[in-house]
Structure 1
Amino acid sequence: MHKPILLVIGTRAEAIKLIPLYLAFKKENINVLLCATFQHSDLLQQVFDIFKITPDFNLDVMIKDQDLFYLQKTIMERVREVYHKVNPILVLVHGDTTTTMSAALAAFYLNIPVGHVEAGLRTGNMRSPFPEELNRKLVTQIADLHFAPTAFSTANLLAEGVARTKVFCTGNTVVDVLLYMKDLILNNKIDIDLKIKNIIEKAKSENKKIVLLTAHRRESFGPGLVRIFNSIKKFANLHKDVLIILPAHPNPNVLVAINNSGIKNTKNIIITESLLYKDLIYLLINSNFVATDSGGIQEEAVSLGKHVIVLRDVTERWEGVWDGSEDLVGTNENLILSSLEKCYHLKKETEKMSSIYGDGKSCNRIVSIIRKNLNI
């Protein structure tokens, strides 16, 4: 048997997008191992529980008040031990997190080939998102195989001088898992949190428009988050037939902004704890529209035919903006309110599934490409 392919995961978003690829390797009887840094421990474990997966290696790096210096140093030291132990034929990383950058750099130091899933996303602003833009550009310099989700991200890599033979346009693996979860939910094959289900059913029975709101970006901490929440509060007070659901990210900066904005006291805004992935997708399916600063939720919402208000000044996912499915508004209160009003008047009947971010076959393409390139 060939040496193993090693997937390195640190956050919930990475797990959501890499676990279907891990399962695709397993289905093809390819020797594959899963290493979890647990950069975000509880959120990451939720995804493993849904898919009933236990990582082969748990690096257990998360501590209270961890910073980027601690994370990079600790991840590189602990993942080095894993690399020495298993001697992988390829290390696969995803996206742009500190886990991604640290695992790729450690592999480079040990002359281990690296594959980069969701490669080529760019905002053109090194400080937004921070530190993600730098992370993904560094991984581009390291990676041997680049799996770009769209034609635009492919073009970004080629424009930066990456060899055409090393770049592959595969679609985004998030659509693979989204379609899988959608089927489970619509066919009652998975249990949804009863509290969330009751909230949605009650809102529908009262003919309320349902809005999903998420906000957690580091570059918005402080006044930016407060402006977002103030805008949402104003909109909610103007439209009593709207129900806004905010799953609060556990980051203390987000919780402080929620408290400072007074959004908790608005009757038609419900603040929940961070949702399990399956419950988040259920909420997305049943939402009329979405306001978010999450890249993954942008992709999922647009793929489900939802209109998205992007609460960021810049985005690396321009496809949805060009398509007309997304409004890029940043944290400007007037722009947010204007976009909220526009979405309020959209007809739910106009929703149409979109394939601009992927068609649900990305994992199979990546497995096939790796098999060919590694001769396995």
Structure 2
Amino acid sequence: MFVTDAALIVLIGTKAQFIKTAPVLRELDVQKVPYRLVYTGQHSETFEALEACFGTRPPDEVLVPDTEAATKSALLGWSARFWRAVAARARSEEWRGCRIGVVHGDTMSTLFGAMATRYCGGRVAHIEAGLRSPKLMDPFPEEIIRRCVSRLSKLHFAPDSTAAANLAHVRGKVIDTGGNTLRDALRLALAAVEPGMSEGGIGGYGVVSIHRNENLSNAGDFDLLMGEVVRASAVMPLKFVLHPATRARLRTTGWMDRLRLNQGLELMERMNYPDFVRLLVGSSCLLTDGGSNQEEAAMLGLPTLLLRRATERPDGLGGNVVLSGLQPRIIRDFVENNAHRRWTLQAIGTDSPSAAIVRVLRSEMHASG
């Protein structure tokens, strides 16, 4: 254990959450705010590498060690073990001193972390609060999680004025942080891998990342996307970064063997964040269904095709990000227009959303102490 005081607990479950929360952890250390760092164990892949990249310390505890909830059955198993671990800590009063629990985003770890915080008597602080879709079930389960966590939270850290406006009627304090914490993570990564670079696309390849449940669980949409990936690989070399859930889906559908036979397509393991940013900067374009990828691309200026029918995120739309609507004609036109393209690398803003969040957390801790 690194700390014994559980007054401020930070709960992280997935790789994307770690990347977006790491700048907050660094800022907590800079502002000398003590905290207990808890990994939920929903994902374990690459966490040690990410700690080294961002200069953050190992966790004080891992609730469900040595697991990767990449399939529905694995997620159910992880869920049961998570609540057994939380119940044990509540019975032993290990977390009973919790005054604030910090969660991020819209994953199962977000919802379970918020519920666990309330169960142990603390207030929930939600980073990246206020994202909204007009449809409760789309995206699923993210939109349901967002709305539930908003009801549980007392501190809502919204990344922009639109997200803050979506929280006009919630209980607690709504704080517009003036940006997403991913801005801080991306700035750190760029400084490490491509200092002073002004042009992207030198590698002439495209990057593919597909992992959302809405695409993996719909057989027709998944087959459509895999077919378009194969078609695009005949136009330019593609590097397909495989998430654990995507890898599992490719194997069960038979697509894994078909993709491996394609010489224009390289299947890649997930990598540490600076290496992924380096991969993006070297690419001519990005094909993705990821919200974090959309945000990164919008800040970088990277031409990006969003492989979704609709999105609740405005980042880059009308600029360098195109929503495909899963329409084959839009997908093919984008690939043709951006193959081997060079693009201007945009400067990342210097205002720190993470510093703004920690200032509020420190004030709230002092007020409740």
Pairwise same-fold verdict (TM > 0.5): yes
Matched length? 350
Aligned partner (choices 53, 56, 63) of residue 57 of structure 2: 53
Equivalence for 1:246: 240
Q: How far, CA to CA, are the matches of 2:112 and 2:254 in structure 1?
A: 32
CA contact (8 A) 2:125 2:153 kept: yes
> Normalized against structure 1, the TM-score is what?
0.84
Provide Cα deviations, 1:94-130, integer angstroms capped at 9, x if missing partner: 0011111011012223331010001111222333322
Verify the 8 A CA contact 1:5 1:33 in the aligned structure 2.
yes
SS at match of 2:338: helix
State the partner residue of 1:301: 297
Is 1:131 the counterpart of 2:141? The answer is yes
**Deviation per residue, 1:124-155 (Å, 9 max, x gap):** 23333221111111000000000011222112
| 1:185 pairs with 2:193 | yes
Change (3 A) 1:274 1:213: same
Task: Give the corresponding residue for 2:227.
Answer: 230
**Equivalents in 2 of 1:150, 1:278: separation in Å?**
25
| Rounded Cα–Cα distance in structure 2 between residues aligned with 1:89 and 1:108 | 9
Correspondence for 1:266: 262
CA distance in 2, matches of 1:54, 1:5: 16
Partner of 2:9: 6
Please tell me whether the aligned partners of residues 309 and 326 of structure 1 are also in contact (alpha carbons under 8 angstroms). yes
Corresponding residue to 2:332 among 328, 334, 337: 337
Alpha-carbon distance in structure 1 between the residues aligned to 2:327 and 2:351: 34
Asked whether the 8 Å contact 2:305–2:322 carries over to 1, the reply is: yes
8 A contact 1:230–1:261 mirrored in 2? no
Distance in 1 (alpha carbons) for counterparts of 2:30 and 2:56: 15
The answer to whether residue 44 in structure 2 is matched with residue 41 in structure 1 is: yes
The alpha carbon displacement at 1:72 in A equals 3.4
Q: Which of the numbers 356, 359, 368 marks the counterpart of 1:365?
A: 356
Distance, in Å, in 2 between the alignment partners of 1:254 and 1:291 is 17
Of 83, 94, 99, which aligns to 1:85? 94
Matched residue of 1:35: which SS?
strand
Letter in 2 for 1:85: E
Deviation, 1:40, is 1.1
Equivalent pair of 1:35/1:59 in contact (CA under 8 Å)? yes
The answer to whether 1:18 aligns with 2:9 is no
Summarize deviations over 1:328-371 as a string: whole Å, max 9, x none: 114332221122233338x524443465xxx5501100011122
Given that 2:284 and 2:342 are in contact with CA atoms closer than 8 Å, whether structure 1 keeps it comes out as: yes
Distance (Å, rounded) in 1 between the aligned partners of 2:158 and 2:14: 20
| d(CA) in 2 for partners of 1:104, 1:236 | 42
Question: 1:298 offset after TM fit, Å?
Answer: 1.1
What are the ranges of 5 or more consecutive residues in structure 2 without an aligned counterpart?
Answer: none
Kindly provide the CA deviation profile for residues 289-309 of structure 1, in whole angstroms up to 9, marking residues without a partner as x: 111011111111221111211
Aligned equivalents of 1:338 and 1:259: distance in 2?
24
Matched to 1:234, the amino acid is R
Q: CA deviation at 1:180?
A: 0.4
Distance 1:110 1:260, change over 3 A: closer
| Residue ranges of structure 1 left out of the alignment (5+ in a row) | 189-202
CA contact (8 A) 1:248 1:254 kept: no
Q: Which has the higher helix share?
A: 1
Q: Aligned AA for 2:303?
A: H
Percent identity over paired residues: 26
Task: Name the structure 2 match of 1:96.
Answer: 106
CA offsets per residue over residues 174-208 of structure 1, 9 Å max, x none? 110111011011259xxxxxxxxxxxxxx95xxx6
Q: Give the Cα separation in 2 of the matches to 1:183 and 1:312.
A: 31
Where does residue 273 of structure 2 map in the other structure?
A: 277
User: What letter corresponds to residue 220 of structure 2 in structure 1?
Assistant: P
Distance 1:187 1:352 in 2: 12
State which of 173, 177, 183 in structure 2 corresponds to 1:175: 183
CA gap 1:311/1:257 in 2 versus in 1, 3 angstroms: farther
Aligned partner letter, 2:179 = G
TM-score with structure 2 length normalisation? 0.86
User: Quick one: structure 1 residues 132 and 334, their matched pair in 2 at CA, closer, same or farther if it must change by over 3 Å?
Assistant: same
CA 352–63 in structure 1, closer or farther in 2 if over 3 Å, else same:
closer
Change (3 A) 1:156 1:164: same
Instruction: Say if 1:22 and 1:75 are closer, same or farther in 2 by CA, change over 3 A.
Output: same
The Cα shift of 1:223 comes to: 2.7
Q: Is the 8 A contact 1:72 1:99 kept in 2?
A: no
The equivalences for 1:22-33 within 5 A come to 22-33=25-36
Distance in 2 (CA, whole Å) between partners of 1:147 and 1:40 is 24
What per-residue deviation string (whole Å, max 9, x for no partner) do you get for residues 214-266 of structure 1? 111111123322211211222332x2xx2211112222114445726833333
Q: Which moved more, 1:84-93 or 1:97-106?
A: 84-93
Give the structure 2 partner of residue 75 of structure 1. 82
Distance change in 2, residues 1:307/1:374 (3 Å): same
Q: Is the 8 A contact 2:12 2:103 kept in 1?
A: yes
Cα 1:258–1:209, aligned 2, differ >3 Å: closer, same or farther?
A: farther
2: CA distance, partners of 1:41 / 1:349: 34
CA separation in 2, counterparts of 1:372 and 1:46?
32
**Contact 2:37/2:60 (CA < 8 Å) preserved in 1?**
yes
> Is this contact kept in 1: 2:103–2:126, CA < 8 A?
yes
Instruction: Answer with 100-109 or 78-87: which moved more.
Output: 78-87
